[in-house]
Structures are given as structure tokens and as C-alpha cells.
Amino acid sequence: MAHKWVLEKVRNIGISAHIDSGKTTLTERILFYTGRIHAIHEVKGKDGVGATMDSMDLERERGITIQSAATNVQWKDTEINIIDTPGHVDFTIEVERALRVLDGAILVLCGVAGVQSQSITVDRQMRRYKVPRLAFINKLDRAGANPFRVVDALREKLRHNAVFMQIPIGLEDKHDGVIDLVKMKAFTFSGPNGETITEGPIPAEMAEQAKKYRHELVGKAADFDDALAEKFLMEEEPTEAEVMAAIRKGTLNLDLTPVFMGSAYKNRGVQLLLDGVTNYLPNPTEVTNEGLDLDKNEEKIVLPSDPDKPLVALAFKLEEGKYGQLTYMRVYQGTMKKGDFITNMANGRKVKIPRLGRMHASDMEDIEVAHAGDIVAVFGVDCSSGDTFTDGTVNIAMTSMFVPDAVISLAVSPKSKEGAANFSKALQKFRKEDPTLRVHRDEESAETIISGMGELHLEIYIERMKREFNCEVVSGQPQVAYRETIGAATPFDYTHKKQTGGSGQYAKVVGTFEPLESIDKTYEFVNKIVGGKIPKEFIPAVDKGFQEQMTKGLLIGFPVVGVKATLTDGAYHEVDSSEMAFRICAMTAFREFYFKAKPTALEPIMKVEVSAPEEYQGNVLGQVNQRRGIIMGTTTTDAFTTVEAEVPLSEMFGYSTELRSGTQGKGEFTMEFSRYAAVPRNIQEDLVKKYEKKRADEAKK
């Protein structure tokens, strides 16, 4: 029973938001109020220190969070593991992997800008992993702050059943504190760092407004508790505990989003948000954690947060720290002790845990043991991000993370020969750390190509090579990750015959290639061979041959997607047929019939959101239109215009400079991958010419 009590006093939470909503500032305040740090540092710190959680120099210089950092704090009698995640879409994998292991989250929204594009992305990720959340409306001290409008956007844009837990006392420069609608008390914050909280009666002029929102709060909470619903209908006053229990139930079911508010920068409202975390977000025993039973064909099983069961832990993040290779792990079941041997389910290797610790940004404290529900750092364990570890008695793996496709590539090489060893060491390390960074060698041009989520993503890695590995890098022009697909069904019939001394090669394949309804599905293979026209053992070779040929299309040299290959007939030879013969036959059949299937090029389309003062609206719209953008909508609030558009990625290079000059430095934009779409005919012709020229040049070499 003792364990259960301890687990009930644990919260694993993440803080996520749109870039610049004040996540890292909020985390800094949480660290201060929980006694983790004894002085507050700002994100773009004038004191030269920078925020505690931004431990990379790069993060401090740019004032953005790149890697999610983990810390452990104590609030009253509850232990809270916090992961601060980046808001920038290029580092979306950091958000994915944090949400994968968290039980609850705080969605931070700017009190002025409200729900922005990245808030929508983060929200979608939270839904994917079924993470209950609280919303915190920040920056109420700023001009134009309006939490009521933000809650409307939360309901409309994100479809949240959002409920006010508090209302503000004053806004902008008059923001002084909040009224707690559960306790029906006013809270103000004073002292140099807002550490003195004064609880008092609600100001008379706000009594009516507080009553109105309290009524709304109890009404929404009543949906989750019959006894409370009865009291609400009878107009009886419920107890504080009854209201809290109903809100907690709705939040854990993902049916309710409690909204807290304040200003992290001005030290208001953060302590009440921490109370909200302990009151309304789940402890590890209240979350369903699913694993895959490898003995039962990857059947899904639920892992109870029980420290006495066999160990199951997930390595969700790797980091090269000042102590060496650091692996962040979430323990789902069982107990992990320093000195224990654990088994990596990805490769079956047994490893010893030399050192176990709790991280606080870049510092660490050693611990001897970790139980189910804990998030810990392990040293000296070699693995990849996403590997599952057990004590060796069970054959279980955790369900994998969603890893988005790369949309942009760069050719990179070390500036000098001396840097070559460090160059490959750096790429190996980054690749292990970050599943969205792809590295491959282009055989034709003999170049090393890195691919990722956006210009900034790749820029940061090139900068890190220079700083961490002392390796200067030369990079080519950014290349868009185009795709190819087919536009028409076409039958194929191909025979592969080759006679060399001794046994030859013989294979024949017949069938159709047709476009799939959606290119989200890359490829589908259907085997309709009957009567042994092609022996069973050769069928996988045909499938493999098609797939191999699809990695590089013949139109513009990019991977082919959205193809269904149906094998209906064929022939083989007793002596000359082999797996290799059928693989080559399938590859050649694909090449021979590809152009009859009317191939087209596809390009990544980005969802772009631009914000700028209203007077620059014309410039912004003009720039987006020039870049083949389609305007999806514009909204104007408080003399600020937000333009939402879909723009091809190939047209977005250099946009930040153009936007700055067109808005006198006052405009900003975010973009994320939306979908693939067909390239206009004139642009496709240019791409085809470029590819043909490249092939001709390589042939001359």
C-alpha cells in the first residue's frame, strides 16, 4: 500500500505552447517557487545567465528552447517531474517524445495572441497521446491581453470544453491577481518575486462577474457528477471538495480543460497553477499505459504502475551531457536499481546501470532506486531513442512514437580533411538523439545528405557540429523533399532472361500498377497468384523489387508514393529462377512501365501563419501571393493581423528576410508541414529538365 500512496503524490507533466508564449519563463518561476533555484533568470537574460532550463548556449543566445529539458520539483507534498518542451515546429519530435511519456500537460497560451498555429499542433499531439491538460493564459500584464477572448478561441479553434477556474483582477498594467472561482476568494501576489500571496474577499465591483463565472464553472463540472448536478439544479451550494472532484474527473477523461491565468514574467498566478497541477492532473496510476506483448504477435497490453511487477522502461531521449551519454527513461512498471542488469528489447543486449539520477536541467543528483511512475536519467547505457528496457523476464515493448517525415535536405561536408572524423562522429550522435534527422549518402553525387523538419532544424545541427565537435561544415543549397506518384492505372508484363555461363536468370511478372486513394499510404502490394504460377518463396522478392525501385523515381529522382502493385500472373524456370531473378524482374518492370502510369511530381505544402501590425497587411498578403501561397483566412485583433496560408515549401526560402523588410522587422511567422500536393506543370517541367541534366552530368563523369 505504501507504494500506492507515494505514486498518488507524483505528477509527470509537460509544458508546451506556441513559440514565445512564455513556457520557459513559467518553468523558471515554478523552479523558484518550489525552491529548486534561489534566483530568477530571464530567458534572454541581461545578467548573461539565461533561463535555467535552456542549458545549451545556442538556446540562450536565440532565446528559444531546442531540447526538452527535464527537472524534478517538490510542491507541498507532491513530487512533480517537469519537461519543458520547445515551441518551434522544427523541434516537434521533442514535443512528441515528451508527450509520449507524460501523464498530464500545461498548455500555455499568450493572453494577447491566444491560440496560434503551434498551439494547434501541440494540442493535436496531446490528443494523439490522450494527455489530459490544464490551460494557463499567460502575459495578462501585456497591452491587449484578454483572457476571455483566448477562452473563446480555445473553444472554437481547438474544440476544448474550456472552463474558467479563475478570472483576472485587472488587466494590462492594472493586472494585480486573480479570483479563484472554486474558493470564491481573491488572490494577489506581492514581494520582490511574487512569493507573498494574499488571500482576501472578492472586490465588491467584481462580485457579480465572479458569481456569473462561478455558476458557469459549477454547471460544467455538474456534467461529471450526479450528486453535484442535483445540487446545481436545486440551486444548492456545493462544497469545495465536490466541485474539485467533478472537475478532476472531467479533466482526466479529456472532457474538460480547466483554465488558469496570470503573468509568469510578473510573478502572478504561478503558485495557484501548481495547486491546479496537483489537484486536477493525473498521477501515474490513473493513466492507461499500453505496451506490446512480443510473445503474442505484438498484442496490446496495459501496464499497471506497479513497482512489484517486472521492469518495463522506455528510453525517450538521449543527450550528451557533461557527465557523458545520458538517457532519460520513464519507468512504467517495476523497479530499477543502480547496479541492476537490464535488457534492451531492440537488440536483446544486457546492460548494467552504472549510475542513476534525477536531472535538474543540466545538473543531477544521484539516486539508488526508481519506481514505476518515475522519470530518471541513466548513465553509460548505450541505446537509441525509443528503445524499451526490461529486467529480462518479460518480452514487452512500448508502443512507438509517431515520427514525421523530413521535408528538407542539405548536402553537407567537413570544411577540412582533419574534420572528417569529428563530422561523422557528430552525425552519428545527432542521429541517435533525434529520429527526425535523417542522414544518408547519395551514391551518384557521393555527398552526405542530412534531412529534417525545416531550415532552422538543420541550421542548429550545423551550428552544433561547429561548437560541440569543433568541425566547420560546408553546406549546399537547401533541397525540398519532393515525391513522385502515378496518375493512371497501367498493366505490366515483363520477362527477365539472362544467360551466363552455367545457370541463368529467369523470371516473369504480370499485373497492374494503380494509384492509391491517398498518398499518405506509400505503397500496397497485393498477391493474386494462384496455381503456383510463381512459387510462394519468390513472392516477397517481387514485393521487395518494387519497393526498392520506388525509393528513387524516374521523373525527378525522388521517392515514389501512393502506388498499389497487384501481381496477377507470372512464370518461373525450375533451374534458372531465384529470389534475385524475381527481384531484378520486378525492379525492371517498374522502370519499364512507370511512364505509362502518368507520373507526376508532388511538393510539400506548408501551413504558414504570419502575424504583423495591421498597416502591413497589404505587404504580407502580396508576399504570400508572390510565393504561390493560397490565403486560407485573415483575422485582425487589436491592430494586429494574422494571415493563415498554404504555401509550397520551395517558395519559403529566404522568406524571413523578406518579411522583416516588408514589415520593418515587426512581422513574424511560423510554418509546419501540411500535406503533399501536385506540382504545377511549368514547375514540373523545370524539375524534370534539372534531373535530366544532373543524370547527364553524372554519366559524363
| pLDDT tens column, 154-206 | 898 888 999 999 999 988 888 889 999 999 999 998 888 888 888 999 999 99
Give residue 440's pLDDT.
Answer: 84
Largest Cα–Cα distance of the chain, in whole Å? Answer: 101
Quote the pLDDT of residue 302.
86
> pLDDT of 582-635, one tens digit each?
999 999 999 999 999 999 999 999 888 888 888 899 999 999 999 999 999 998
To 5 degrees, how large is the angle CA 191–CA 192–CA 198? 20
Q: Percent of the chain beyond pLDDT 70?
A: 88
Q: Could you tell me the fold of the domain covering 484-597?
A: Ribosomal Protein S5; domain 2 (3.30.230)
* pLDDT tens digit sequence for 377-389: 888 888 877 788 9
Pick 289-398's CATH classification: 3.40.50.300, 3.40.50.2300, 2.130.10.10, 2.40.30.10.
2.40.30.10
Q: Which CATH architecture has domain 10-285?
A: 3-Layer(aba) Sandwich (3.40)
| Residue 5 clears pLDDT 60, i.e. is over it | no
Question: In this predicted structure, what is the pLDDT of residue 163?
Answer: 94
Nearest to 126 by CA among 245, 291, 251, 280: 251
Q: Which residue has the higher pLDDT, 535 or 454?
A: 535
> What distance in Å separates the CA atoms of residue 319 and residue 6, rounded to the nearest whole number?
29
Q: Do domains 408-477 and 602-682 have the same CATH topology?
A: yes
For residue 540, CA distances in Å to 451, 520, 536, 576, 579 come to 30, 23, 8, 18, 8
pTM given for the model: 0.69
Q: What is the mean pLDDT of the chain?
A: 84
| Mean pLDDT lowest among 74-83, 244-253, 547-556, 573-582 | 74-83
Q: By the 8 A CB rule, do 136 and 109 touch?
A: yes
Architecture of domain 408-477: 2-Layer Sandwich (3.30)
Over the stretch 534-563, which tens digit does the pLDDT of each residue have? 999 999 999 999 999 999 999 999 999 999
What does residue 650 show for φ and ψ, rounded to 5 degrees? -60, -20
Cα gap 604→88, rounded to integer Å: 19
Q: Where are the domains of the chain?
A: 10-285, 289-398, 408-477, 484-597, 602-682
Report the 3 state secondary structure along 393-453: CCCEEECCCCCCCCCEEEEEEECCHHHHHHHHHHHHHHHHHCCCCEEEEECCCCEEEEEEC
Answer CATH for 602-682 from 3.30.565.10, 3.50.50.60, 3.30.43.10, 3.30.70.240: 3.30.70.240
Q: What percent of the chain has pLDDT over 90?
A: 35
- Give the pLDDT band (50/70/90) at residue 322: low
pLDDT of residue 320: 65
Give the mean pLDDT of 511-517: 94
249 pLDDT band, cuts 50/70/90, is very high
More confident residue, 36 or 498: 498
Confidence of residue 90 (pLDDT cuts 50, 70, 90): low
For 533, the 3-state DSSP assignment is coil
Alpha-carbon span 318 to 132, nearest angstrom: 25
pLDDT tens-digit map of 36-71 = 766 665 544 433 334 444 444 444 444 433 344 577
How many other CB atoms are found less than 10 A from the CB of residue 191?
10
Backbone angles phi, psi at 183, to 5 degrees: -85, -20
Q: For residue 605, give the C-alpha cell.
A: 505544402
What is the per-residue pLDDT for 574?
86
Task: Identify which of 118, 105, 127, 115 has the alpha carbon closest to the alpha carbon of residue 154.
Answer: 115
pLDDT digit string, tens, across residues 91-135: 566 666 667 788 899 888 888 888 876 677 778 778 877 889 999
Sign of the Cα pseudo-torsion (107, 108, 113, 116, in order): negative
pLDDT value for 289: 83
